[in-house]
Structure 1
C-alpha cells in the first residue's frame, strides 16, 4: 500500500471534508482517505500508484483546489 499527502485549499467546514473524502474515495485504486480540516491535509492510501492528476480532478469535482 502506498500513501501520499496533499494540501487542499478552500475547505471551511465538515461538509467540505465529507465532499473531498467522497470524491477522492471514488477514484479507482484509492483504498483510504483522511482529511484534516485544520491543516487542509489530504492523505490518500492506494493499492497501486494513482496519478496526482486523478486525485486533483476529484478534489476539483468536490469544489476545492489541490495545492502543489
Structure 2
C-alpha cells in the first residue's frame, strides 16, 4: 500500500494540468466568440467534455472500493 505522501505527489501533476486548462478555457473562448456567434465556443466546450468523458472511460476504468 502506498503512503499518503506518495499518493499526494502522484496526484499533483494531473491536478496542475487540470488547473492550467481551467485558466486557459476562458481565454480560448474569448478568442473564439465573435460579436454574436457562440457556436465555436460551444464546439470547443463539447470537445473538452468529450475528451474528459473518454479519459474517464478508457483511462480510469471501473472504480471500485479498496478494502483495507
TM range (shorter): under 0.3
| TM-score scaled by length of structure 1 | 0.28
Higher strand share: 1
Higher RCO (CA-CA < 8 Å; seq separation 6+): 1
